[in-house]
Amino acid sequence: MAPMGIRLSPLGMAVFCLLGLGVLYHLYSGFLAGRFAFFMLSEPAAGGPDPPRGSAPAGAVDLRELLAVSVLAAVRGGEEVKRVREGNVLNAKAKGKTREGAEEQLTSGDLLSNRRMFHLLKAAFPAVQINSEERVDTADQETVSWDRSIPEDIKQKIQPTEVPAESVTVWIDPLDATQEYTEDLRQYVTTMVCVAVNGKPVIGVIHKPFSAYTAWAMVDGGSNVKARSSYNEKTPRIIVSRSHAGKVEQVARQTFGNQTVIIPAGGAGYKVLALLDVAEKNQEEADVYIHVTYIKKWDICAGNAVLRALGGHMTTLTGEEISYTGSDGNEGGLIASINMNHKALIEKLPDLEKTSHK
């Protein structure tokens, strides 16, 4: 006997297909609804709040933000410098000798300031090259964050300016005037940050930890400091390193006259501030800053940027611009001035260039 088959009527087939389509519709419509909701939550609504700062295109750096974090880094580093000095826990040791044979000092203040400054800048701008005077221990990953806030004075004076990250080099001096720091000559001590774009210094920050004074400036932007209004170009007051005063004095007085004043001082940051209008009781005033030997770029980059922003000049002793790329040293000495005939000053001091290579 042949097996009996099951036969469905056309009406049954139609009902079965409709049920299948209903199930598929329910599942697919739920998926679409979920995707639509995700899209709506992910996209900012028209007229809604702006995206947070720091959302510059990949590979771009906002110089206004970099200025803000540079100021913060200099201040945070200065806090470490001050804490170590006031606690008298310097742990000073020699780290080597200069080309002139003098011992270079290294203290806990240098290291702790460097640690704080480097990690703050690196966390905020990981794509930017950072050069520092002190070695950074890559195993020491201190977490130092920036809340991306920009001080009001910077907001008011500086417009957002984006540049490619690969064009930026940051120079850190975590403790300028370490020798004077060990001698407790606190007025000379600074922490500094400089930002160079394609080798040209465009942002400079000089902070004095023991008086909480900070000078900053950005080329073609603005500054919180200004140049002094009066200078004596015929018999200038020349500020020099304490160890170089004898080298400069004889030539300078032969050139400008016996009334020329030589001011021995510590720290490149302090010497640049001497050319500016600084409301500091322990800040001396000078017309020209001269350095006659090799000097590291992290010592001078911030001061160079500040002077450029205010219309001043810092060059080698032969008048060449100093590039802040490549090696970390400047071989040609330096002469810095503001609101003076810089070229004329260079022409008056021809013999100092030879001294810079000794």
Answer yes or no: is 184 a known binding residue. no
Separation CA 230–CA 23 (nearest Å): 88
Answer yes or no: is 299 a known binding residue. yes
Q: Which of 110, 190, 191, 287 is an active site residue?
A: 110
Separation CA 160–CA 332 (nearest Å): 35
Which residues is 106 bridged to in the sheet? 93
Separation CA 300–CA 272 (nearest Å): 9
Answer yes or no: is 351 a known binding residue. no
Which residues is 296 bridged to in the sheet? 329
The angle subtended at Cα 156 by Cα 193 and Cα 276, nearest 5°, is 50
Structure tokens at 346: 């260079």
Cα 354 to chain centroid distance, Å, stands at 32
| Residue pointed to by tokens 């200078």 | 231
Separation CA 56–CA 332 (nearest Å): 38
Answer yes or no: is 175 a known binding residue. yes
Answer yes or no: is 19 a known binding residue. no
Q: Report which of 278, 301, 292 is spatially closest to residue 242, judged by C-alpha positions.
A: 292
Cα dist from 302 to 100, 122, 312, whole Å:
24, 18, 13
The angle subtended at Cα 134 by Cα 128 and Cα 136, nearest 5°, is 60
Separation CA 143–CA 112 (nearest Å): 13
- In the residue annotation, 178 being an active-site residue is answered as yes
Separation CA 216–CA 99 (nearest Å): 31
Sign of the alpha-carbon dihedral angle for 225, 115, 265, 294: negative
Pair type for strands 103-106 and 129-132? unpaired
- Counting every residue written for the chain, the total comes to 358
Q: Which of 107, 169, 178, 214 is an active site residue?
A: 178
Separation CA 205–CA 209 (nearest Å): 12
Structure tokens at 42: 């992910």
Separation CA 105–CA 111 (nearest Å): 11
Residues comprising the binding site for Mg(2+)?
133, 173, 175-176, 299
Which residues contribute to the annotated binding site? Answer: 133, 173, 175-176, 299
Q: Which residues are catalytic?
A: 110, 178
